[in-house]
Structure formats: C-alpha cells, structure tokens
Amino acid sequence: MSVANTPSASPAPSPLVLERSFVLATAITAIVMGVIALLWPSVTLLTVALLFGAYLIVTGIFRLVLAITSSTLSTGPRLLVGFLGVLVLVAGVLALANPAQSLVVLALVIGIGWIVDGIAAIIGGFTGRTALPRWLAIVTGVVSVLGGFVIFFVPGVAIATFVLIGGWILIAIGATTLLSLPPKPRA
C-alpha cells in the first residue's frame, strides 16, 4: 500500500470548538433537567429516591470490601467499617424497597443539617467566631434552624419545594451558561 492511498486522519477539533461543545452540552442538559423537574416532579423525586438508594448500596458494598481487604486497618476500625458498611447497605435496600419513605428520611437528614448549621452560626455570631458580621451570622443561623424545623413538620412539602426550586435553578443556570458560550471560531 502506498503512502498516497493511506487514509488521512482528520485533524483534532480546536480547543475553542471543544469548549463551545462542552458549554452548549452543559447548558442544554441543565435546561432539560430543569424542565423535567418542573413538568414531572413525582418522576424526578422517584429518580432521586432510587439514585439515593443505589448510592447507599454501592457505598455499603465498598465499605464492606474495604473492611475485608484492607491491610492497613487494625481489627477495631475494620469491624467498625464493616458494621457501617452493613448498615449503609441495609439502608440502601430499604430505600429502594420504599422510595417515598427514603425521601422523607433524606429530607429529615437535610433538616437536621440545617438545624446543626444554624446553631453553629448562632454560636459563632454570639462568640464572634464567624467570618460574617455577628448580626448576620445570628440571623442566618435563626433562619437555618427555622428552616430545619419546617422540614421536620412538613417533609413532603419541603421535598416538593426543593424539586420546584431546583428545576427553576437548573433552567436559570442553563440559560446563563448559554450566555457564556465562547464565540464561534473563524473559518
């Protein structure tokens, strides 16, 4: 076969073309996901619940494998990692068996996180150990604690609200990402 008959490789796309493609794909994905969240919130919540359960199962399996195969862990930590792996694995199976209940648990975990963060912000505001102005740390802490308690009293409404707000945020992110699209390369 002569050199003249060898098929030539097409040149690699320029970095600008790759960047444009990435930005465009990211923006369109965000917008589509946002629209799906707004149009089908129950399907979105079910997907989140199933992904949450699958994540827990995978994490539990990895912890069990680590507990069994690790040569750097002594017996105590190995047993603890294994025990946590079993707990996380069982939680994942339960989450997949009852996705609606797993969403409530997820909301309650978020609520606990907000309460703990809020208490820490309030303490930081009173003690002066905060990067924010003291009054702002206290106000944000109070809002966070109140938000956490709202989640405890109406977790279903909180979850639905998260999906709707998340959908609008995804659409906004996608639209603003399109505004950052690099110009087309000149031919």
- One digit per residue, the tens of pLDDT, for the chain of length 187 reads 555 555 666 777 777 778 888 889 989 999 999 999 999 998 888 988 899 899 999 999 999 999 999 888 889 889 998 999 999 899 899 989 998 888 888 888 889 999 999 999 999 999 988 888 999 999 999 999 999 999 999 998 998 898 999 999 999 999 998 988 877 777 6
Q: Is 12 helix (H, G, I), strand (E, B) or coil?
A: coil
With respect to residue 74, please indicate whether it lies within any of the assigned structural domains: yes
Pairwise CA distance, residues 106 & 118, whole Å: 18
With respect to residue 86, please indicate whether it lies within any of the assigned structural domains: yes
With respect to residue 53, please indicate whether it lies within any of the assigned structural domains: yes
Residue 38's domain spans which residues? 14-179
With respect to residue 6, please indicate whether it lies within any of the assigned structural domains: no
Q: What is the CA radius of gyration of the chain?
A: 24
Pairwise CA distance, residues 45 & 102, whole Å: 10
With respect to residue 31, please indicate whether it lies within any of the assigned structural domains: yes
Number of domains in the chain: 1
With respect to residue 184, please indicate whether it lies within any of the assigned structural domains: no
With respect to residue 7, please indicate whether it lies within any of the assigned structural domains: no
Q: Is the pTM of this model over 0.85?
A: no
With respect to residue 153, please indicate whether it lies within any of the assigned structural domains: yes
